[in-house]
Amino acid sequence: VGDAPRSARSDRVKAVRRLSGRSVRLREGRFVAEGPQAVREAIGTGLVEAAYATPEALDRHQDIAAALVAAGLPAHPVTADVLAAMSDTVTPQGMVAVCRLVDVPLEQVLRARPRLIAVLAQVRDPGNAGTVIRAADAAGADAVILTEGSVDVHNPKCVRATAGSLFHLPIVVGLSLTRVIDALRAERMTVLAADGAGPADLDDLQDGDRLAGPVAWVFGNEAWGLPQADRDLADDVVRVPVHGRAESLNLATAAALCLYATARVQRRQVRSIQ
């Protein structure tokens, strides 16, 4: 408690606030997880370096206070003003944690013999990326890969959209799509690109056995999708059927449908073998 920052203008508060910038995060190797849900999930990962919370938030979330103490992590009581000065959000819900970056090497993911992976190719919107990470977690995916040129997963808006899932499954960043697909294919994963104009239909795929083996889905940029050169890298290009008059689905919706369809086929497969 003695070294908790007391002023919103203290150097430590400013240093935390600067982590809302991508280049600072990369240089320092740290980012800020905001809100009780994110802090709670972060503690279990061993990535937390320090937590800052208002007395009110600590009282409301005593389980988090206990977990911080049990993990031997420095937890600093601060005023709401100090916390607001640290945070990108207007309302960080009384609590933030400074964490080391979450990303892991692709090799580590592949060693675990993944069966379902989501690849985001040049996805730029932090809310979209975060929502896909949350859906991938829910669908039981083994990892999410963001290619170089994608949004930083440690962006505060992305962290928020993951609703804690950022800390639940391995995240790989910074590689080219070519390199990612080469590595996935070397592990005998089927690589499927999602595209509204794809010749294969997700509904038909669910009736076959193509989704039963290890599958990696590639999702493109929210505005321009996947360029032809990128689609050519995949084993097949798959569309989510549009039954109504919508021109397309948004990125996160399409990704959730593809990932859940695959999880359903893979799990049916497992049930029928047992």
Which residues would be at the binding site for its own copies (CB under 8 A)?
A: 37, 131, 134-141, 161, 163-165, 168-169, 203, 206, 240, 242-250, 252-253, 256-257, 260, 263-264, 267
Taking the least distance from each CB to its own copies, the nearer of 77 and 260 is: 260
Helix, strand, coil: what percent of the chain each, to 5?
45, 20, 35
Residue closer to its own copies by CB (options 54, 165) is: 165
Instruction: Kindly tell me the sign of the dihedral angle through the C-alpha atoms of 126, 98, 52, 19.
Output: negative
Residue 15 DSSP symbol: H
Output the smallest distance, CB 3 to its own copies, in A.
Answer: 33
Position 113, amino acid: R
Whole-number minimum distance, CB 158 to its own copies, in Å? 14
Q: Nearest 5°: phi and psi at 40?
A: -60, -45
Taking a C-beta distance cutoff of 8 angstroms, is the pair 261, 205 a contact? Answer: yes
Question: Can you tell me whether residue 158 is helix, strand or coil?
Answer: helix
Give whichever of 52 and 167 is closer to its own copies, judged by the CB atom. Answer: 167
User: From CA 164, how far away is CA 16, in angstroms rounded?
Assistant: 20
Minimum CB separation from its own copies for residue 168, in Å? 4
CB of 244 to its own copies, least distance (A): 4
For the bound state, the minimum distance from the C-beta of residue 188 to its own copies, rounded and expressed in Å, comes to 22
Nearest residue (CB) to its own copies, 181 versus 256 = 256
Nearer to its own copies by Cβ, of 64 and 141: the residue is 141
Give helix 36-43 / helix 62-70 axis angle, nearest 10°: 30
